Amino acid sequence: MKNYIDKLFYNLMTEIKAKDSNDIYFNMFTKFRMIPFTTQLSIQQFLNKFNYWGKIEIEKDNYEMLKNKSVVFKKYQDEYIKLYKSLADYKSKYILFSILNNFYNFDFEHLKNSMENIYKHYFDLDLMPKFKDKVFVDVGAFTGDSTLDFLNSYGIKGYKKIYCYEISKENIDKIRYNLKEYDNIIIKEKAVSDRECKLFFDENSESSANKISNTGKLEVKGTSLDGDISEKIDIVKMDIEGGEYLALQGMKEHIKNDCPILMISVYHNNTDLIEIPNLISTYNENYNFYLRYYGGCIFATEIVLIALPKK
């Protein structure tokens, strides 16, 4: 018998499955135009600032993001159901429903209810209550904020060694300052990807949103975690502005052999929610999947997939 959350999710998926991508787009467009105009402008400004999912330009009648999302909804509808079934708790299932419902119906209430208000970003103590002597890898370390959250959550006994990967020299200086009191912190000025390579980026006005590519004004060395870390890895946090899929490909052997806890941002690309857990499962089936939501109540970002080794 389906419970309340099951009914919400399957009713939504039944409605989506009955439509083609044009009908899905029309529903999204209609619901978008029904929200207050100031909120429309706020979403437009946010989308166009980061340009992860496609643009919205109201004055030009350009709703690229809605079109992109409608195509993904139609293509991956069965995959969303598969993901829902694979999630290990009903908090995760409700978060998945809330995210999809936000994209499809521009519903803000369920998304607001999904927001994490208790635990630090990434570190849900209901899922991961204790760590001791772990090797923690912070990919996309920014200013060391996630590492500090790790330390505040688990204390200095929680880690044996911490690797911080960051591409911005300014941010690396901040990491060194913020973590200067701690031992065994290894800071790597490298971009994590699927292989050793030369990569580029431009400094974003939001320094947390620096994104690597094959072109740009600033050069950075690219590496893979399989190639750069030889010891066993216990925990990985990864938030690298859309580069997560390639970076996971570059730690295939660690995933297969070490089965580390993975905390991966899955919102930078329209297909991350589907493709990233599928990739992890192809490397190692010994994982339970969870979703946690650390974003706001207007547009779904800061979605984290937590993959925990099965006991």
**pLDDT tens digits, 223-275:** 999 999 999 999 999 999 889 999 999 999 999 999 999 999 999 999 999 99
**The CATH number of the domain where 258 resides is what?**
3.40.50.150
Q: Whole-angstrom Cα distance, residue 54 to residue 35?
A: 19
**Whether 140 and 253 share a structural domain:** yes
Domain range for 65 is 4-114
Q: Does residue 158 sit within a domain?
A: yes
Residue 286 lies in a domain: no
Q: What is the pLDDT of residue 214?
A: 64
Radius of gyration of the chain (CA): 20
The answer to whether residue 307 sits within a structural domain is: no
Give how many domains the chain has, as a whole number: 2
Query: 79 lies in a domain?
Result: yes
* Contact between residue 40 and residue 58 where contact means Cβ atoms under 8 Å apart: yes
Q: Judge if 100 and 139 occupy the same domain.
A: no
The whole-number pLDDT of residue 198 equals 79
pTM for this model (two decimals): 0.93
Residues 58 and 87 placed together within one structural domain of the fold: yes
Consecutive sets of 10 residues in the chain, 311 residues long: mean pLDDT of each?
90 96 97 97 93 93 97 96 97 98 97 95 94 97 96 96 94 96 95 84 58 68 94 97 94 98 96 97 97 96 97 82
Query: Which pLDDT score, from 0 to 100, does residue 210 have?
Result: 64
Asked whether residue 139 falls in the same domain as residue 98, the answer is no
Helix %, strand %, coil % for the chain, to 5?
A: 45, 20, 35
**Beta strand pairing call for 303-309 and 287-293:** antiparallel
pLDDT value for 204: 60
- Asked whether residue 285 is assigned to any structural domain, the reply reads no
Q: Counting Cβ atoms within 10 Å, is residue 22 exposed (0-12), middle (13-18) or buried (19+)?
A: exposed
261 in the same domain as 139: yes
Are 239 and 187 contained in the same domain? yes
